[in-house]
Amino acid sequence: MSEPIRIPALEGVAPAAQYSHVVTASGRLVVVSGQLPLDEKGELVGAGDAAAQARQVFENLRRCLAAAGAGFEHVVKLTYFVTDTAHLPAIRAARAAHIPDDRLPASSAVRVAGLVAPEFLMEIEALAVVAG
């Protein structure tokens, strides 16, 4: 049986830094809306602190994935919306706590002028595929 999620070898494209260019998957699609740095009470976590916000966002992603019967091992794509690209190292550090470097999903990072509220430094959405 082949793996439900696979990162194929790629030729003729510059090496990816901190993500995978291509991820193939077969199974049930799980779509997680953009998550913000809010705790379970809807309160901001980490005002002005990109690392704290990134940790909260990844915790929210983990909880959403779990509710759908998935985990970070099933994530095939992450999209980062950031108000400043200087926040990307904090996001990568939070991601590293959940996803090993040899299983990095495809990803996109988009710098935005702002998010739904000015105190949010980032929003992250995920696509996952669960076998079956």
What does the pLDDT read at residue 4? 78
Q: What whole-number distance in Å separates Cα of residue 13 and Cα of residue 4?
A: 24
| CA-closest candidate to residue 109, choices 70, 82, 89, 90 | 82
89-112 pLDDT per residue, tens? 999 999 999 999 999 999 999 999
Q: What whole-number distance in Å separates Cα of residue 74 and Cα of residue 85?
A: 26
The continuous run of DSSP H or E covering 63 comes out as: helix 50-67
Fold of 23-130: 60s Ribosomal Protein L30; Chain: A; (3.30.1330)
Q: What's the pTM value of the predicted model, to 2 decimals?
A: 0.91
Name the CA radius of gyration of the chain, rounded: 15
Domain segments of the chain: what residues? 23-130
What's the pLDDT band for 2 if we cut at 50, 70, 90? Answer: low
